[in-house]
Amino acid sequence: MEGHTGWVCSVAFSPNGAQIVSGSEDRSVRIWDASTANEVIKLEGHTSSVHSVAFSPNGAHIVSGSSDRTLWIWDATTGNEMSKMKGHTGAVYSVAFSPNGVQIVSGSSDMTVHIWDATTGNKVTKMNGHTGSVNSVAFSPNGTQIVSGSEDETMQIWDATTGNGVRKIKGCTGSIYSVAFSPNGMQIVSGSEDKTVTIWDVNTGDEMMKTQQHSRQVWSVAFSPNGQEIVSGSQDATVQIWDATTGNGVKKIEGHPDQVRSVAISPNSAQILSGSDDRTVRIWDATTGNGVTKMEGHTGSVYSVAFSPNGAQIVSGSDDRSLRIWDASTANEVTKMEGHTSSVYSVAFSPNGAHILCLVQVTRLCRSGMQPREMR
């Protein structure tokens, strides 16, 4: 799949695997048809790079995060911007919907984690504790806990209801760039500046498995839907698949000529999606490691991508300040959302798929799919 004109920073499959979303340094978000590699829709509005994108569980919304310090929520069907939120005092690097779509969590360079009401846009709570920028945040599968990874070389687990700290996990010797819960919520995987992929016990904080086969820092990690495998993307330009129990390498995928910023696994675990600084989004066969297709379209690096919950669409966020929605079956661009004044770092769909949340670097959160409004 080709189309981006800048680095692809983040990619993800929709839940049913029919679509792919990519976020690029070209400031756009693009949705692709996973079968045809055609661009479905292009969303523009961000005024800087889109670093992270994600579909809501039901595929109705997309959230994007950008270096313009804002989060935007978009309607995944129309591409319309729904609303914006502000409250952080620094750039927002990561955002995520809760499994039920009721809350949104964000992590920022201001060293805090915020929880927001996804309906009203009101801030629910603010969590302090990190001593460095918060690079990655994620909800547990049941929505009761949140994990955050930071430049302070620690992860913190938080109670999603009270905002209280549950546990601090130490062990990495570099910034933590990516964190994710296992499907059963019992483990957390981290990708770090120290070139490691590590699995941790949620209840004890103990290290369960660590592997260091990447030759450069690890930008992105993800569990397979069944929790049996982990996929990682690295600055060494490779995608690697690991056995989540033994830590043994299953497959090393090469093909990108530049570093891999984001990885995702399709809902059926059959395909792997990657976004790279080579400005492309690529789909790989998870069994053979062979390239399936390549998409291009953004005019800047793609930092984040995500599938809609039903897999019919893909959203991508880019450095071109736009989000794009793509039809996963045809790869045609459905719509392009514009409005941000800086890079879009993170995007995600709300659980019902009706809204898109995006994160940009002007300390705002925004939501699309309804009459735009400012959220505090």
* pLDDT tens digits along 308-360: 666 666 676 666 666 667 666 666 676 676 665 555 556 665 555 555 555 55
Residue labelled with tokens 């919520």 = 185
Does 362 score more than 80 pLDDT? no
Query: Any idea of the CA torsion for 172, 218, 156, 106, to the nearest 10 degrees?
Result: 160
User: From CA 15, how far away is CA 267, in angstroms rounded?
Assistant: 5
Max mean pLDDT range (29-33, 112-116, 186-190, 274-278): 186-190
User: From CA 99, how far away is CA 97, in angstroms rounded?
Assistant: 6
CA 29 vs CA 92, 149, 190, 296, 318: distances in Å: 17, 24, 25, 11, 5
Which pLDDT score, from 0 to 100, does residue 219 have? Answer: 92
DSSP state string for 128-177: ---SS-EEEEEE-TTSSEEEEEETTSEEEEEETTT--EEEEEE--SS-EE
Residue 231: closest CA among 197, 187, 193: 197
**Rg of the chain, C-alpha, whole Å:** 17
Residue type for position 347? V
User: From CA 275, how far away is CA 299, in angstroms rounded?
Assistant: 14
* pLDDT tens digits along 60-70: 777 777 777 77
Which pLDDT score, from 0 to 100, does residue 301 have? Answer: 73
Q: Residue 41: how many CB atoms within 10 A of its CB?
A: 32
Which class in CATH covers the domain with range 8-375?
mainly beta
Q: Residue 291: how many CB atoms within 10 A of its CB?
A: 15
Give every CB contact of residue 209 below 8 A, 6+ residues apart in sequence: 198, 199, 244, 245, 246, 247
CA 183 vs CA 309, 339, 375: distances in Å: 15, 35, 31
* pLDDT tens digits along 175-213: 999 999 999 999 999 999 999 999 999 999 999 999 999
Tokens of 251: 């497959």
Does 145 score more than 60 pLDDT? yes
